[in-house]
Chains A and B, each alone.
Chain A
Amino acid sequence: DQQVKQNSPSLSVQEGRISILNCDYTNSMFDYFLWYKKYPAEGPTFLISISSIKDKNEDGRFTVFLNKSAKHLSLHIVPSQPGDSAVYFCAPNNDMRFGAGTRLTVKP
């Protein structure tokens, strides 16, 4: 069984600064790890993923890092914008259970 943990329930950053969201997992058997973004009263939407054979994937302001030895991922958003304020979930491609999520607030 996979267990995904997002140990920071919330994060607040100033607009323009970097946001770093973290995710830890227990089971290394996955092909991709994915990040989703969720606004209130909406379903989550896919944000960015990383292959298990990579250690970094970058897409515009979003970069995800994978540290397989530590079983740890981090999502970096830079520069952060107020519109990034949302709840962020991480999940592997082979397990539909999500971590508790991290609520990001970007202050103007």
Chain B
Amino acid sequence: GAVVSQHPSWVICKSGTSVKIECRSLDFQATTMFWYRQFPKQSLMLMATSNEGSKATYEQGVEKDKFLINHASLTLSTLTVTSAHPEDSSFYICSARDLDVTGELFFGEGSRLTVL
């Protein structure tokens, strides 16, 4: 089946630094990938839609200058948390859709970010 991989799975950084998280579709091409953030008590919030070769589409309330998304190839999207602060600490998850598989989203393993 389709596989989506995220890296790193966890990262600790100092406040003010930037952190990049990669999301790769390993066995299919994804023109569109999605970035989520999981808040405490389970809710999964869609942050943005990453579009290959064009700008990402951000959900309302998500700062595009804070969360930079780049989708430079059909198998790779990156999320960069810029000038990270402790409140950015969260579990970030990406997903992609294999168009050969009806409707189903394939999710990465998630990346746990802790900002000190």
Contacts and interface: CB of A to CB of B under 8 A. Distances in A.
Judge: A and B partners, yes or no: yes
Interface of A: 9, 31-32, 34, 36, 38, 41-46, 49, 87, 89, 91, 93, 96-98, 100-101, 103
A45 B107 contact: yes
Interface in B67-104: 91, 93-95, 102-104
B59 to A, nearest CB: 8
Contact of B109 (A43, A93, A96): A43
Given A93-B102, A96-B34, A44 B43 contact: no
Contact of A46 (B49, B94, B105): B105
Given A41-B110, A43-B110, A96 B105 contact: yes
B44 A98 contact: yes
Q: B interface, how many residues as a size bin?
A: 20 to 34
B56 interface: no
Contacts of B93: 43-44
Nearest to A89: B44
A45 B4 CA distance: 11
Nearest to A91: B105
Nearest to B39: A100
B110 A101 contact: no
A98 to B, nearest CB: 5
B42 A101 contact: yes
Nearest to A10: B42
A9 B4 CA distance: 28
B112 interface: yes
Nearest to A92: B103
A36 B105 contact: yes
Nearest to A51: B102
18 contacts: A32-B102, A38-B42, A38-B44, A42-B109, A43-B94, A43-B108, A44-B107, A46-B104, A46-B105, A49-B104, A89-B44, A93-B102, A93-B103, A97-B59, A98-B44, A98-B46, A100-B42, A103-B42
Contacts of B103: 31-32, 34, 49, 93
